Amino acid sequence: MKKIIASNFKTNHTRKSTREFIEDINQYLSEKNIDNDVYIFPTATSLDSFETASNLTIGVQNAYYTKSGSFTGEIGTIHLDEFGIKTILIGHSERRHILGETQKEVALKYNYFKALGYKIIYCFGEPLEVKQAGLTETLGYIWEQFDGIDLNYENLILAYEPVWAIGTGISATTEDIGTIHRKIKKKIDKPLLYGGSVKVCGLQDILEVPNVDGVLVGTASWVAEDFKKMIYIANKMDQNSKKIICSTEE
Ligand code: PEP
């Protein structure tokens, strides 16, 4: 399976710079003949009708489980339908831990968008104190994040994102990633991404870990040149390149 590369803009990029970024990446994919699946999740205000290659998908970072209604500050599916958006991130740790989304709400959202056939990138991962408590505790915590989640859903991609690694600059070690991914894959046969301070240099090491099907990247993906390097590396690896590469230089 070709490696999946996804960029989460979080609260970054304007409408104008989002369009420039997407057009740049789209052109890069066709110029280089790259057929890896690439996802970009811009802010809700930057959603628009984008003409993209079939392997470049624009998704939404969040939406409420409604078509429309009175949910101040939220958007519903009429706003996504306007731009043909059919892909959503659910369960991101910033929504769970900063914005207070409970597992019950996450599951409600999951089931709503599942019923509509959305592609769901479902994020889960443990905070530092849980990791420090040990592997059993970590796995127990992770399984609880699957409460109410249909793991057989055909349009599901999973993303293991340890909370302590997100936006901190400290990525999990390849050993940690390998351990958790192996345990998850044993039980759930779905594409499984890693996310948490992935950088251009270091990407190949992570993608080489067994059971890592791709990456979900925040901070290091916001400069188009860097995101292109990541796509380039993933594509080269799929062609069995053995060399560790951190740039688009041949
Ligand atoms: C993310 O937002 O999903 C993420 C992994 O962020 P960062 O790469 O900045 O840690």
Question: Which residue from 166, 170, 203 has its CB within 8 A of the most atoms of ligand 1, so it is best to mutate?
Answer: 166
> What is the pTM assigned to this prediction?
0.96
Coil vs helix vs strand at 79 = helix
What confidence score (pLDDT) does residue 47 get? 98
Name the nearest CA neighbour of 162 among 235, 103, 100, 216: 216
CA 167 to centroid of ligand 1, rounded, Å: 5
Other C-beta atoms lying within 10 Å of the C-beta of residue 30: 12
Rounded to whole angstroms, the Cα distance separating 22 from 19 reads 5
Domains and CATH numbers, the chain: 4-239 (3.20.20.70)
Cα(20)–Cα(24) distance, integer angstroms: 6
If phi > 0 it is left, if psi is from -120 to 50 it is alpha, else beta; for residue 244 that is beta
- What pLDDT is attached to residue 237? 84
Q: What is the pLDDT of residue 119?
A: 98
pLDDT at 243: 66
Q: Tell me what pLDDT residue 199 has.
A: 95
Cα–Cα nearest to 157, from 37, 33, 9: 37
Active-site position among 13, 92, 101, 181: 92
Each of the 250 residues of the chain gets a pLDDT tens digit; together they read 899 999 999 999 999 999 999 999 999 999 999 999 999 999 999 999 999 999 999 999 999 999 999 999 999 999 999 999 999 999 999 999 999 999 999 999 999 999 999 999 999 999 999 999 999 999 999 999 999 999 999 999 999 999 999 988 888 999 999 999 999 999 999 999 999 999 999 999 999 999 999 999 999 999 999 999 999 999 998 776 666 667 655 4
- Res 241: pLDDT: 64
Q: Identify the residues whose C-beta falls under 6 Å from ligand 1.
A: 8, 10, 161, 166-167, 195-198, 216-220
Quote the pLDDT of residue 153: 98
Supply the pLDDT for residue 41.
98
pLDDT of residue 250: 47
